[in-house]
Amino acid sequence: MQIIPAIDIKDGNCVRLKQGEMHSATVFSEDPAAMARHWLDLGAERLHLVDLNGAFAGKPKNEMAIREIVSVIGEEIPIQLGGGIRDLDTIERYLDDGITYIIIGTAAVKNPGFLHDACSAFPGHIIVGLDAREGKVATDGWSKMTGHDVVDLAKKFEDYGVEALIYTDIGRDGMLTGVNIEATAKMARELRIPVIASGGINSLKDIKELASFESEGVIGAIAGRALYEGTLDFKAALKAAKGK
């Protein structure tokens, strides 16, 4: 199982939010590219980027910082990117820039046709991100709850041809309260595509528990605040993820 460091970009800086609230941003670095290099040097096998301004604006806002990250990472490890991606031209531009996987979240729920078109146009490069609270899907930076059952929607998107699913329990994200292992494992069992866990990871115990479901399809865990605040040691997390 991979431990995937998150680099959330707001106003060109690497930040973390609490429960998706833009006003609760903590700046951890003013140089996201250097932060990306730091995680690569420590042994990261994949990076998770989010254009936070883009997510709220509905269009890319931090392309310069993202390009700088790609320039320092090169093709050494895959980079997955989400935030404000609403059209095929934007996807094509980011893939041309060197991003490996494009994450479609809110737009997938609101406009499933767009997700379907993206999977057709860029097979193997589209990841869907579903955020849920108590089994129901949330959109728009978690500000809006829908009536969609998260497992049902994930199965529908799986049929479209998405490469993987990032599953976030939004009651826990950025709160260091521990990942929702039970819900994540249930999701992985229901799907044929790989599941990446996100939201609330804060200890080696979380990682060891998640890694025990790797055979059922949990291929990675995105870690953010815990890494930046030092409550989770990245090298120890890598070892735990590999069962060591």
Residues identified as active-site: 8, 131
CB 164 within 8 A of CB 206: no
User: What is the Cα 80 distance to its own chain's centre?
Assistant: 7
Strand 47-51 relative to strand 21-29: parallel, antiparallel, unpaired?
unpaired
DSSP output for 105-117: -HHHHH-HHHHHH
Q: CA-CA distance, 207 to 105, in Å (whole number)?
A: 24
Q: Is 54 helix (H, G, I), strand (E, B) or coil?
A: helix
Residue 189: count of CB within 10 angstroms of its CB: 13
